[in-house]
Structure 1
């Protein structure tokens, strides 16, 4: 039974633990990604300098798969090293408690007071330098091409409550190509700087527009196979066809001569 939360903390706050986070990443997240995906491809667009900066970032992300959170850990643990946090459904975090060591904290949208605590908590985390909070404003897994994107107002609440931070839209997509395993794609969209004068009413439609644009651009990149600006950040384990080509391919070619 978790302790009663304060008004500025969710029931399950993050409990960052370097050793615990390293164990979860090395024993669970990275092996699972390498086993499941042929590769993970990233296009940061014009945001590389922002991702390397010390300014806080609120990353609001399309929620298209169970794997989305794993990609967050891969991106901000091994590529862009930041003090990163992830808002996670309370029921799931209670079940997989060890993700709290990696910076996960809970949200319960069915309880308005608890949701407000999570918003306040996320805002407090973003007061830290080089912090990044990863949030799924759609609230549930949605097919990647469903439009319009419906975003809960929590992301705008967090941003305007905090101020002086970047709001960064990130689109995720999973596609099968010529390999046994799918490709995971990450595309950063157009960031928005939030100052102290920005209001939630101004920001909410802009966030939806920017996230939709990032998701549409990622869809078009894949459909047109315009992947030159994507870099592989993780290579999966060899699939069956690659093992066959590597081991038996020379024998088959010799036999066919």
Structure 2
């Protein structure tokens, strides 16, 4: 398990690089206009679907320019070895083939949460096509929601990539309101996992149905992020 080694100066420089990359490869990125206000210095869990290579960079950019949380993100050990600079952005690793490593990674995530920081997760565990149903989550998200010293605020983020009428693709980002605690806090871990899956499934299905109309104007109100 590799810990994060966040460097503010590197984050600032890297954000400019990522912006140029996104401008080059995407026609635009749209984010839901009603981005919720996150309570600062409160443990925050944010989870998203994971369908391709861009997801981590997109969420880094989205967080920096919209949410502005003190963010940490769990990623595969292999991926962090290949791209060690991600540790300077807040990435920490987990080797899912080693149970002890999983425990260490979850305990490290808990530490960040207990210090009032945000932990971002891809609870599917691997990349799956964005239209794959049903969604299947590994138990880490539900586990973290139960072990923090203070009940965390939890948000769900749907990432949906598509083509409209341009050469380059567009991306829609939809973030939920805070998941109300009375809807999940009394559930068992398995029930919480199913609930978190259902929330994200509804978001993705909504974005999918809207993009079939093939017009950005038919989407729930979004604003341009690039």
1:120-135 aligned at under 5 Å gives the runs: 120-129=107-116, 131-135=117-121
Kept in 2, the 8 Å contact 1:123–1:159? The answer is no
- Equivalent residue in structure 2 for 1:145, among 114, 131, 140: 131
- Equivalent residue in structure 2 for 1:19, among 9, 15, 24: 9
Once the two structures are superposed, residues 193-238 of structure 1 have per-residue CA deviations (whole angstroms, 9 ceiling, x without a partner) of 458765423312111111111111121232234225111111xxxx
Distance 1:58 1:79 in 2: 16
Distance 1:184 1:135 in 2: 19
Kept in 2, the 8 Å contact 1:153–1:204? The answer is yes
Residue 32 (str. 1) matches residue 18 (str. 2): no
Distance 1:217 1:128 in 2: 34
Displacement over 6 Å in runs of 4+: none
| 1:180 Cα offset (Å) | 1.3
Structure 1 residues 89 and 141: alpha-carbon distance in aligned structure 2, compared to 1, 3 A threshold: same
Kept in 2, the 8 Å contact 1:190–1:210? The answer is no
Distance 2:156 2:78 in 1: 26
| 1:17 Cα offset (Å) | 0.6
Once the two structures are superposed, residues 97-151 of structure 1 have per-residue CA deviations (whole angstroms, 9 ceiling, x without a partner) of 111111011011111110111111111111223x221111111111111111010
Structure whose CA Rg is larger: 1
| 1:55 Cα offset (Å) | 2.9
Distance 2:171 2:92 in 1: 25
Structure 2 stretches of 5 or more lacking a match?
none
The residue that corresponds to 2:223 in the other structure is: 231
Structure 1 stretches of 5 or more lacking a match?
1-10, 235-257
Aligned residue pair count: 220
| 1:56 Cα offset (Å) | 2.6
Distance 1:44 1:192 in 2: 18
Kept in 2, the 8 Å contact 1:135–1:155? The answer is yes
Structure 1 residues 194 and 100: alpha-carbon distance in aligned structure 2, compared to 1, 3 A threshold: farther
Structure 1 residues 151 and 77: alpha-carbon distance in aligned structure 2, compared to 1, 3 A threshold: same
Distance 1:146 1:31 in 2: 30
| 1:52 Cα offset (Å) | 5.6
Distance 1:176 1:41 in 2: 13
